[in-house]
């Protein structure tokens, strides 16, 4: 279980990393926490000739709030998300999500940016990003662009990121006070990917839902935004009937591949169940 030979670089700055990326083009892979890429390299599914480690670039790490936006460096580890006082207070959904990713050792190394850029629909941050309405900062030697999470995930291991770009930051609009959120994830055991999971954020006006976002993990080639389910809930009370209806609408967009975690039907049913649980919990956490 040893990767094929490659050249290794540990640039100290983003411009240096971009220079290396430009020079080596398609032959190069960016290394973040290494807990997706290195396993793929060990299995020889990935065989980059050049590995550019972003681990020494300190400006890619950290969490701060700036004028209603939470800005998270792409190389911030899952463990740092979990212990962030800012996130615990203002964006607990990310903390709840990160706590359910893999295991402690992996969370010390694994990064939010790596999880997103890998483009694996089984990863948890993509759905969390959709539910939070996040956007991503992508930098190349030509400049910088900011793209919304919604639309970024285009297929299995395929994202809107270009080969000469580095994700530098994740921007999350600070959820308005009173927002309720929940990440409900079914997994067979610690360290496994989700059989199905649902991320929900919502705000209530009295007993009716005023804003709601629902996103699903690992039940399609990309994370899925359950738009019809959202539309059906907006302006309605969170009754059992409305929650059940939203879950059915969420299930209708699922198309999971059968594997050792279950059949298409089972996974779809579990996506519905996770949607119901996340809606109920988020509803109970939202201020009226």
Partner 1 sequence: MATKQAVSMKLNGKVADVVVEPRELLIHTLREKLGTTGPHIGCETSHCGACTVDLDGMSVKSCTVLTVQCQNSEVLTIEGFEQGGVLHVLQECFSEQHGLQCGYCTPGMITRAYRLLKENPNPTEEEIRYWMAGNLCRCTGYQNIVKAVQFAAKKLATKAA
Binding residues (CB under 8 A) for partner 1: these are 1-8, 10, 34-35, 38-39, 41-42, 51, 53, 55, 79, 102-106, 108-109, 190-191
User: Is the Cβ of residue 102 or residue 222 nearer to partner 1 in the bound state?
Assistant: 102
C-beta closer to partner 1: residue 67 or 260:
260
In angstroms, give the least distance from the CB of 100 to partner 1.
11
Closest distance of CB 90 from partner 1, Å: 23
The CA–CA distances, whole Å, from 222 to 23, 130, 256 equal: 30, 11, 10
- In the complex with partner 1, the residue whose CB is nearer, 35 or 261, is 35
In angstroms, what is the minimal distance from the CB of 77 to partner 1? 8
| Closest distance of CB 246 from partner 1, Å | 31
Provide the minimum distance between the beta carbon of 168 and partner 1 in the complex, in angstroms, as a whole number: 20
Judged by beta carbon, residue 122 or residue 213, the one nearer partner 1 is 122
Looking at the Cβ atoms of 51 and 219, the one nearer to partner 1 is 51
We find the least distance from the C-beta atom of residue 51 to partner 1, in angstroms, to be 7
| Of residues 34 and 160, the one with the C-beta less far from partner 1 | 34
């Amino acid at each position: 279980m040893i990767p094929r030979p490659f050249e290794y670089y540990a640039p100290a700055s983003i411009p240096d990393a971009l220079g290396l990326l430009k020079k080596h083009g398609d032959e190069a892979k960016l290394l973040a926490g290494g807990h997706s890429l290195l396993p793929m390299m060990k299995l020889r599914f990935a065989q980059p000739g050049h590995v550019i480690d972003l681990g020494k670039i300190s400006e890619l790490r950290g969490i701060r709030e700036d004028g209603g936006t939470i800005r998270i460096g792409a190389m911030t580890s899952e463990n740092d998300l979990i212990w962030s006082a800012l996130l615990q207070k203002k964006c607990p959904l990310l903390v709840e999500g990160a706590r359910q990713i893999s295991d402690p050792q992996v969370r010390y190394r694994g990064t939010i940016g790596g999880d997103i850029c890998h483009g694996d629909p089984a990863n948890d941050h993509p759905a969390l990003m959709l539910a939070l309405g996040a956007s991503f900062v992508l930098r190349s030697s030509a400049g910088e662009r900011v793209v919304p999470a919604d639309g970024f995930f285009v297929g299995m291991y395929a994202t809107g990121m270009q080969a000469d770009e580095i994700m530098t930051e994740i921007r999350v609009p600070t959820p308005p006070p009173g927002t309720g959120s929940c990440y409900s994830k079914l997994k067979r055991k610690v360290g496994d990917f989700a059989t199905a999971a649902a991320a929900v954020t919502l705000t209530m006006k009295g007993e009716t839902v005023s804003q709601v976002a629902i996103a699903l993990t690992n039940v399609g080639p990309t994370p899925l935004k359950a738009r019809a389910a959202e539309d059906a809930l907006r302006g309605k009370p969170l009754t059992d009937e409305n929650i059940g209806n939203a879950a059915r609408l969420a299930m209708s967009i699922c198309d999971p591949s059968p594997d050792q975690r279950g059949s298409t039907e089972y996974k779809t049913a579990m996506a519905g169940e996770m949607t119901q649980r996340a809606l109920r919990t988020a509803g109970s956490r939202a201020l009226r």
